[in-house]
């Protein structure tokens, strides 16, 4: 039996990504977002949504760049912290014990301690309501060597990413691997 | 030590959502997407990205509506199947053994068997390249009563959602709960 829950953002899961930017003075800033996702394969692009009231909003608009930094489970407290305090209140890198590395490709810093970093150039935006959606073209991905698998790609065991579940207002780790994607295609091709 | 991996869609994790639509003839159609995310809180909205070549693209444009259906781990094979075959090749609801329920609110069907369903009205779109991003305002959420917690919201234990990890081309279940989000705020307020 289905129950109607009303018009709410109750999809699951959402990512936990920490956005790196510079403010007008060039000070590195951080903010955690859960409203976002990959949005295009060619060119590779990611979207994040920000409220206009956030400090990061002005940074993204001003510098036309941001980084998407994927924290490990071990960074959950740091990611949570930079999601609830504002960059107006002080240096969030310092507060969270994180290190800002200047990107050589876009006008934004990435997080040294987080295992996976996407360097993005702002290419589009869409005002939706409380949030504005920003599209960043991914110009490079940086990853810690120790999180890479044999194929040179980051692994779940290495990165240990986690998710935000809005319905429970909680963070969850990834768990068991279910299996390969597109298995139906392989099966179909084999038959 | 960071290694450069190039311009790739290597964020993690991505959701696994199955999009329900009607085609021009009114036949229910399904397609699995991983490029998407919640994109606005007020009005509540979700974005999904589709290639113009897909059957679902024309359905979304034609009907200006879609549903986002969140499969459980037990539906992984069905979700995988409807992600690799085209609606042009036949009835994907039938092929996957799923039931189309007509939404009474938007011009799209939702999946009876999946525990969580978002009914969306197309409100905006943005052509990005290979993919076009579609924004759907969430007009209602339906959920199976048995996946709801005491507070009336869907739980991870009930829904058992899973994720797509592009770097491994694999599906992963959610695992352990790390803790509550916004704990830093509570801590700060208490001190």
User: Is it the case that residue B135 has pLDDT exceeding 60?
Assistant: yes
Does the beta carbon of A13 lie under 8 angstroms from any beta carbon of chain B? yes
User: Is it the case that residue B51 has pLDDT exceeding 80?
Assistant: yes
State the average pLDDT over residues B100-125.
98
B122: left (phi over 0), alpha (psi -120 to 50) or beta: beta
Which stretch of A129-138, A151-160, B89-98 has the lowest confidence by average pLDDT? B89-98
What is the sign, positive or negative, of the torsion defined by CA atoms of B177, B182, B185, B190?
A: negative
In this prediction, residue A125 carries a pLDDT of 98
Does the beta carbon of A125 lie under 8 angstroms from any beta carbon of chain B? no
Start-to-end CA span in chain B (Å): 37
List, for residues A75-108, the tens digit of each pLDDT value: 999 999 988 887 788 889 999 999 999 999 999 9
In this prediction, residue B190 carries a pLDDT of 55
Between CA A168 and CA A10 the distance in angstroms is 10
Pairing relation of β-strands A14-15 and A162-165? antiparallel
User: Is it the case that residue B191 has pLDDT exceeding 60?
Assistant: no
Closest-CA residue in chain B for A125? B126
Percent of chain A at pLDDT exceeding 90: 89
Portion 22-81 of B in contact with A at CB < 8 A: 34-47, 49, 68, 70, 73, 76-77, 80-81
Indicate the pLDDT class of residue A190, thresholds 50, 70 and 90.
low
DSSP string, B47-88: EEEEETTSHHHHHHHHHSEEEEEE--GGGHHHHHHHHHS-GG
Between CA A175 and CA A13 the distance in angstroms is 13
ipTM of the complex in this document: 0.95
**Is residue A53 packed enough to be buried (19+ CB in 10 Å), middle (13-18) or exposed (0-12)?**
exposed
Joined together, the tokens standing for residue A111 give: 């997080």
């Amino acid at each position: 039996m289905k129950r109607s829950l009303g018009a709410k953002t109750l999809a699951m899961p959402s990512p936990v990504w920490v956005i790196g930017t510079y403010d007008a003075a060039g000070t590195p800033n951080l903010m955690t977002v859960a409203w976002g996702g990959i949005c295009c394969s060619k060119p590779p692009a990611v979207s994040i949504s920000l409220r206009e009231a956030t400090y990061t909003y002005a940074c993204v608009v001003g510098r036309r760049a941001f980084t998407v930094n994927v924290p490990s489970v071990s960074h959950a407290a740091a990611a949570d912290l930079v999601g609830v305090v504002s960059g107006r209140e002080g240096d969030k890198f310092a507060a969270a014990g994180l290190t800002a590395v200047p990107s050589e490709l876009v006008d934004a810093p990435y997080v040294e301690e987080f295992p996976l970093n996407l360097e993005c150039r702002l290419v589009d935006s869409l005002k939706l309501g409380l949030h504005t959606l920003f599209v960043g073209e991914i110009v490079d991905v940086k990853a810690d060597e120790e999180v890479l698998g044999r194929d040179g790609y980051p692994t779940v065991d290495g990165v240990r990413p986690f998710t935000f579940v809005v319905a429970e207002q909680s963070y969850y780790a990834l768990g068991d691997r279910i299996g390969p994607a597109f298995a139906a295609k392989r099966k179909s091709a084999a038959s």
